[in-house]
Structure 1
Amino acid sequence: MRDLPSLKSLRAFEAAARNGSLTAAADELCIGQGAISHQIRILEEHLGLRVFVRKQHGVELTPEGGLLYASCQRAFDDLEGVVQHIRPRTSGKILRVRVGPFFSMKVIAPRISEFLAANPGVQLHLSHLETMTAGTGPADVIIDYCLQPPAGRFSRRLLRERLVPVYGRVLFQNAEDRLALLSGNRLHYRGLQEWQSWIASSGLALPRSRQDLIFDDQHIILEAVKEGQGVALIDRTMVEHELKSGQICLAHEHFYEPPETYQFVCQEELLRTKPVTKSFLNWLIAEIEERERQLAGSRNSTDEANLRLSHASRSAQ
């Protein structure tokens, strides 16, 4: 019998070493960070030595861990090559993508049939789950919203947000002007930082908000905006349909670009061994570029319509 650690612990170790982070390894393998730590502990107990030195912002390989990591890379590369070679050809038509639900709904879903029509036979599996469940294989592609994509993997920036403040039409009837809305109820996504950055970059001298409401779901924020519950910062390309249809309005034209971006992340070799991966990337790039061109062309007309709606609402008071 071979005296080897479990494959599960070696996979967790290799992912953590490659990413330099237990958190990033957990995201890649679609498991919790606690599970990654547990597998590393099992590996270290089997070896009788430490493979990582824990740092404040990640992990660093020990000399022994570095030797093991180099060996794991070679072994996993060889294993992956054999698997790709013997796997049935139909598997190359399945692409598993893990993506946030708001990006999926606003960017992928509206015209995904065009991608499928151009790539007959492709099965696209979209998952919004943080952990794998039965029938959900490991993700080929992760569309990650992050400061820096994980090291050692292919990444391509898809979208940098331009956050603008928006409000529902009914809200304006209870405010004197759009600037007053900015100091009413502010709706936040996960924290206060984006609103603070937007205000600082706008140059506006705004008082404290009447109420701060924090959500962890952008769908709920958008619905709350439509119902007149407050003003929220949302990427303009994501809500252009709602702006055009008059469901929501701009409170101010200034936009703020967060440092985080949406990144297309996958194993570099996947672009060569599974061509549908590159096809999906190219489709996403073209789709986002087209949305931005349409946005640039329609921005002025939408803003004028919103201003007319605002003036009409004030006149009706």
Structure 2
Amino acid sequence: MRDLPGLKSLRAFEAAARGGSLTAAADELCVGQGAISHQIRLLEDYLGLRVFIRRQHGVELTQEGTLLFTSCQRAFDDLAGTIRHISPRTAQKILRVKVGPFFSMKIIAPRISEFLAQHPGLQLHLSHLDTNVPASGQPDIVIDYRLGAVTGKFSRQLLRERLVPVCGASIRNQYNSVAELLCSNRLHYRSVSEWQSWIATSGLMLGHSQQDLIFDDQHIILEAVKEGQGVALIDQALVEQELRTGQMFLVSEHSFEPQETYQFVCQEDLFRSKPVTKDFLDWLLREVALRRKQQDSAALCLD
């Protein structure tokens, strides 16, 4: 048997900590402020320590209260997510996906209507936020750019990039050689390591770049390349349209595969109990395979 305080006390505490006041918690839980105060006293008596410091205009968490609040939020979010997915009262299916804007734009958005047509009534929520927004709920699926699988969760590799250098039309002919172009402004995703690895495996003797610009969003890098701000390493399969229309040009055909990959991550029990999660994974894998096939076909045409 678990040694835990009462659920009412934990709910009152979590609501007060999240709202910053007993009044906010009382309004949320539809009880009087006295009831919230009573539950907080029960919790502090149970723990033998204070979880709040009372201020004139609200409450402030103690160090111990902060630890408890973090744990409560995680537990309540997990519980709410499970109830949401198993409840027969849920009239509409909802799939919440947390994903970066570049992957969302290049893989999901172009043909997502086909997936939705196969799942009438499904609400697909795509979030690019790093923080969880209460109104949107906890994500069912996270598409994460990371090293390896996630321990303790269902994880499947979606895409390992083949990075090639590309540039915009406006700077393509400004340099006397490919080497000079590759030593112009280099645009980096998160760090300079990918460019260092590409150069090391290319066999080219290249000097330092004119400038190094580091971004944490590949979508912004894409726009910077189009505007002629420099040369970037991008997966060729994800910019085939830009290459085909002349918005971008391939500077070199040499490619480099980083260790980081795009991973599909969700709870093991959710993957088993909610079939649409597996359907979404299968659809994503087909979309990635389609883009690889298109890339390989384009390469054969050039040969």
Q: TM-score, normalised by structure 1?
A: 0.70
1:193 corresponds to: 193
Q: Which residue type is aligned with residue 142 of structure 1?
A: V
Q: Which residue type is aligned with residue 155 of structure 2?
A: S
> How far apart, CA to CA, are the structure 1 residues paired with 2:90 and 2:178?
57
1:211 corresponds to: 211
2:293 corresponds to: 293
2:146 corresponds to: 146
1:104 corresponds to: 104
Rg comparison, structure with higher value: 2
The structure-2 alpha-carbon separation of the partners of 1:175 and 1:84, relative to structure 1 and needing over 3 Å to count, comes to closer
Kept in 2, the 8 Å contact 1:179–1:251? The answer is no
1:261 corresponds to: 261
Kept in 1, the 8 Å contact 2:238–2:291? The answer is no
2:250 corresponds to: 250
Q: Which residue type is aligned with residue 118 of structure 1?
A: Q
Q: Which residue type is aligned with residue 185 of structure 2?
A: N
The structure-2 alpha-carbon separation of the partners of 1:87 and 1:39, relative to structure 1 and needing over 3 Å to count, comes to farther
Q: Offset of 1:210 from its aligned partner?
A: 1.5
Sequence identity percentage: 54
1:3 corresponds to: 5
**3-state SS, counterpart of residue 188 of structure 1:** strand
Q: Which residue type is aligned with residue 129 of structure 2?
A: L
Q: Offset of 1:77 from its aligned partner?
A: 9.2
Unaligned runs of 5+ in 2: 15-60
CA deviations on 1:206-237 (whole Å, 9 max, x unpaired) are 11111111222222211221122211101111
Kept in 1, the 8 Å contact 2:96–2:124? The answer is yes
The structure-2 alpha-carbon separation of the partners of 1:201 and 1:137, relative to structure 1 and needing over 3 Å to count, comes to same
Unaligned runs of 5+ in 1: 10-37, 52-71, 305-317
Q: In the TM superposition, what are the counterparts of 1:61-100 in structure 2 within 5 Å?
A: 84-91=85-92, 93-100=93-100
> How far apart, CA to CA, are the structure 2 residues paired with 1:95 and 1:263?
17
User: For this pair of structures, how many residues does the alignment match?
Assistant: 249
> How far apart, CA to CA, are the structure 2 residues paired with 1:76 and 1:222?
35
> How far apart, CA to CA, are the structure 2 residues paired with 1:82 and 1:220?
38
2:279 corresponds to: 279
2:161 corresponds to: 161
2:65 corresponds to: 42
The structure-2 alpha-carbon separation of the partners of 1:80 and 1:165, relative to structure 1 and needing over 3 Å to count, comes to closer
The structure-2 alpha-carbon separation of the partners of 1:295 and 1:43, relative to structure 1 and needing over 3 Å to count, comes to same
**3-state SS, counterpart of residue 224 of structure 1:** helix
Q: Which residue type is aligned with residue 186 of structure 2?
A: R
> How far apart, CA to CA, are the structure 2 residues paired with 1:77 and 1:208?
49
> How far apart, CA to CA, are the structure 1 residues paired with 2:297 and 2:271?
33
> How far apart, CA to CA, are the structure 1 residues paired with 2:62 and 2:90?
33
Kept in 2, the 8 Å contact 1:179–1:252? The answer is no
> How far apart, CA to CA, are the structure 1 residues paired with 2:82 and 2:129?
28
Q: Which residue type is aligned with residue 89 of structure 2?
A: P
The structure-2 alpha-carbon separation of the partners of 1:207 and 1:122, relative to structure 1 and needing over 3 Å to count, comes to same
Cα-Cα RMSD: 3.1
> How far apart, CA to CA, are the structure 2 residues paired with 1:241 and 1:83?
39
Q: Offset of 1:160 from its aligned partner?
A: 0.3
Kept in 2, the 8 Å contact 1:189–1:217? The answer is yes
**3-state SS, counterpart of residue 278 of structure 1:** helix
Q: Offset of 1:84 from its aligned partner?
A: 4.6
CA deviations on 1:174-223 (whole Å, 9 max, x unpaired) are 11122221111111112111100110111211111111112222222112
2:223 corresponds to: 223
> How far apart, CA to CA, are the structure 2 residues paired with 1:39 and 1:151?
31
The structure-2 alpha-carbon separation of the partners of 1:179 and 1:43, relative to structure 1 and needing over 3 Å to count, comes to closer
Q: TM-score, normalised by structure 2?
A: 0.73
> How far apart, CA to CA, are the structure 1 residues paired with 2:91 and 2:183?
56
